[in-house]
Structure 1
Amino acid sequence: MSGLAKVPRSLLRDEAYESIRRAIIDGTLPPGTNLRDADLAEQLGLSRAPVRQALLRLIEDGLVESKPQSYTRVAGFVPDDVRDALQLVRALHEFAVRAGAPRMGPAEVAAMRAANARFADAIASGDIAAAIAADDELHDVPVAAARNRAIAATLARYTPLLRRLEYARFGSLPAHRSIQRHAELADAIEAGDVDVACAITATIWTELEDLLETP
């Protein structure tokens, strides 16, 4: 019998990164939590090496902070950092819509509408994880249509800072307004009105900034 191929170390690193990042975003690992690579490795069923690599990436993302020979911990929530990320994410989504909308047809618009339906159902049931997943799916459609890997990679890095805000302020989310904005965005793309689609996209992400003022 032929042997099984070993799982590449890079995949283990990515698995550790996704697991720890998800726990930080949803609050399972709250701000200030000490992160010991040995403990995390045991919980994840991995060796310490991929966990260390994952923590380095999370430090670059701004979700973890570290002081050599002192601590590695979940970073605190810094409104100015989130505001900076919001401005960048908004601009990149506008760019993606402008580049991607002309390439989008009925299938892409239908995918956006289906994601918005899932978003509405998740909001109604109070399932923030499902709501955020559906929101990501909706906005990923024009990003994919834009065919710009730099945009996709940058959004993947900075969007988690915003999702962390949404988890922390879920009770203040302008949910029903977001459902309507999503529908308007799909309508504008379907109608071929790129300028309106870009304006709606900007509004969606600008309204999220209001959550920074929520106590």
Structure 2
Amino acid sequence: MPIPPGSPAVGRLLLRDDVYRRLRDAIVDGTFRPGEQLKDGELAEWLGVSRTPVREALLRLGGSGLVVTLPGRSTRVSAIDTPSVRDARDVIAAMHALAVRQTAGRLGDDDLDRMRDANRRFAGALDSGDLAAALDADEEVHRIPVAALGNHALEAVLEQFDPLVRRAERLRFSADGHASVELHSRLIDLIAAGDAEQAASVAFDIWHTLPTDERETG
């Protein structure tokens, strides 16, 4: 497994969640590619931590479908599996629709302005071809209603399944994600207007524009 050069250690007091997020993000952004073997010793050295939090993170990643572990053999980054991504996408879409339905008309001006600003950054990142920034800005647009709702069960579902969907979403943005800019704008306007049902419908539809097969992006 090639370890990315120049990645700084993150400190001995790194929390388990931080290890998980670092490894999750490295899979989502393509640093670790489908089929690549992940060795806990090499990952621990890369992150500057012991093997224990790395092993725990790999177990969590297995629960999210990002890695596949063969007992006594190896842990590898999972392939982008069409049925798994489709199932995760449907769950993610339903959760975001619920969050938007419950928060439409209730978000303050600051939250709405943050959503609009994130959408502008999303559009700019797409124009410049910065996929990492595009994914971050897109995530921020959708995270604001979720955070405002404060439903921890919903957040836990998103935490589990969102990374699997984000990996496929990166493929979409590498092709053309500009249709999402307009959909985001419409979503924000509907939330501001308090149109809960239409806003929830748009939120649901946004996620169903996501291709679930690499071939759909070509």
TM-score by length of 1: 0.90
Q: Which residue of 1 aligns with 2:57?
A: 54
Q: Which residue of 2 aligns with 1:176?
A: 178
**Counterpart amino acid of 1:158?**
F
Matching residue within 184, 187, 193 for 1:185: 187
Q: How many residues align?
A: 207
Alpha carbons 1:172, 1:211 under 8 Å: kept: no
Alpha carbons 1:86, 1:209 under 8 Å: kept: no
Paired-residue identity, %: 47
Q: Which residue of 2 aligns with 1:130?
A: 133
Alpha-carbon distance in 2 for matches of 1:147, 1:43: 35
* Runs of 4+, deviation exceeding 6 Å: none
DSSP-derived class of the 2:72 partner:
coil
Q: Which residue of 1 aligns with 2:94?
A: 91
Matched, 1:76 2:73: no
Alpha-carbon distance in 2 for matches of 1:62, 1:176: 28
Alpha-carbon distance in 2 for matches of 1:54, 1:94: 29
**Counterpart amino acid of 2:178?**
H
1:89-148 CA deviation, whole Å, 9 max, x = no partner? 000000001112232122221111111011111111111111111111111111112221
DSSP-derived class of the 2:208 partner:
helix
**Counterpart amino acid of 2:134?**
A
DSSP-derived class of the 2:211 partner:
helix
Matching residue within 66, 69, 72 for 1:66: 69
1:139-194 CA deviation, whole Å, 9 max, x = no partner? 11111122211111211211111111122343323x22110111111111111111
- Which structure carries more helix by proportion? 1
CA RMSD of aligned residues (A): 1.8
Q: Which residue of 2 aligns with 1:144?
A: 147
Alpha-carbon distance in 2 for matches of 1:210, 1:158: 14
Listed as ranges, the gaps of 5+ residues in structure 2 are 1-10
Rate the CA distance shift 1:16–1:168 in 2: closer, same or farther, 3 A. same
CA drift of 1:210 comes to 6.4
